[in-house]
Amino acid sequence: MSQGRAAANNSKCLNNLRSLGIASKLYTMEDSRQTNPSMTTWHDELLRYLEYPEDVTTLIDLQKLPPETAQNMALWCPALNFNEADSIVQRDRSCYGINMSYFASGHNNNPDKRITAFDVGADAAEIIAFLDATSRNVFHSTPSRIGTGRHGDNVNVVFVDGHVESVPYNGTETELDPEWRKMFDGPNR
């Protein structure tokens, strides 16, 4: 792939992730409880804020999209060819995953931690919200679900504060190094 094509794909992927961050913020602002998208149903909660056809409102609808349509939508990294994608990515029509290590920390047993994640809190610029992935759910303990190889030695991420970055990750660690773990769990988690 040419350097120009790789740069364009990286830019589009970062824009897709930025859209996920914006969709999450909109969801949080509209939700009467001011909570974040759920770690298990985030597709269903965010699709209405992304540019998808009106009849695509759930993960089930998303899974029915033809591959050629899915590859041109906000939940698909343009650096990934559909036919070469992991079977779960193909099924879900989505190349991005939510950081479950962080979002799980504020679920049913600790709902107050779900309230303020998509804001400008002190740690928001350091915690991954969504990232290149091979599963819609990624834990720090499942590094094999991180979508490596799409952007060289980097993985594209959107952080809780909404900024996007290409973060170095070589995909060979059996355990995430402390900096990556911190980006999943956040400080004090």
pLDDT digits (tens, 9 = 90+) for 148-189: 889 998 999 999 888 999 998 866 655 667 778 888 877 655
Average pLDDT over residues 120-126: 75
Structure tokens at 25: 């913020």
Task: Say whether pLDDT at 123 is over 90.
Answer: no
Number of other residues whose CB lies within 10 A of the CB of residue 8: 13
- Residue ranges of alpha helices (H) inside 31-120 are 42-46, 59-63, 67-70, 87-92, 100-103, 112-115
Q: Supply φ then ψ for residue 106, to 5 degrees.
A: -120, 35
Number of other residues whose CB lies within 10 A of the CB of residue 57: 14
Average pLDDT over residues 97-111: 68
Q: What is the pTM of this model?
A: 0.89
Mean of all residue pLDDT scores within the chain: 85
Number of other residues whose CB lies within 10 A of the CB of residue 112: 8
Beta strands in 3-152, from DSSP E residues, in sequence order? 96-99, 128-132, 137-138
pLDDT tens for 11-22 read 999 999 999 999
Q: Is the dihedral of CA 39, 56, 17, 72 positive or negative?
A: positive
